[in-house]
Amino acid sequence: MDNNLRAIDADAHQLSQVIINLLLNAVDAIEENGQIVITSQNDAEGRAQVSVKDNGIGISHENLDKIFDPFFTTKEPGKGTGLGLSVSARIVQYFGGEISVESKKGEGSVFIITFA
């Protein structure tokens, strides 16, 4: 974690909920020897960034545009509500940030949260 991270004007409990949601999804995506990495930094434009990266199953190209939609899930019935990423995106946006994802099926995903 970057000790010089720009201050984020947001509710700590709500931001914790976002990170927990991303971590829970990453845990579901990784295999037995999978890895999850959380980083924080200021980007080249001085914006605070937090990322959650895993080397799990990844997200298919056709699902990337849907993952932040309410009730969208790829989990088996009864295993997920499809609200975690939707709620997380709304929290981040409420505090003036944005959340994006880069993923490749079979190689993992990285979720990047950026605050101006």
Which homologous superfamily is 12-115 in?
A: Histidine kinase-like ATPase, C-terminal domain (3.30.565.10)
Looking at residue 5, its pLDDT comes to: 84
pLDDT in tens, the chain (116 residues): 667 888 999 999 999 999 999 999 999 999 888 999 999 999 999 999 999 999 999 999 999 999 999 998 888 777 778 899 999 999 999 999 999 999 999 999 999 999 98
Amino acid at 54: D
Which residues neighbour 39 within 8 Å (Cβ) at sequence distance 6 or greater?
1, 2, 49, 50, 51, 53
Angle at 75 between CA 30 and CA 79, to 5 degrees: 100
89 DSSP assignment: H
**How many residues are listed for the chain in this entry?**
116
CB 92 within 8 A of CB 112: no
Residue 109 burial (10 A CB sphere; 0-12, 13-18, 19+) = buried
Domain boundaries, the chain: 12-115
Instruction: Report the pLDDT value the prediction gives residue 1, as an integer from 0 to 100.
Output: 61
pLDDT value of position 108:
96
Residue 74: the pLDDT is 82
pLDDT on residue 77: 79
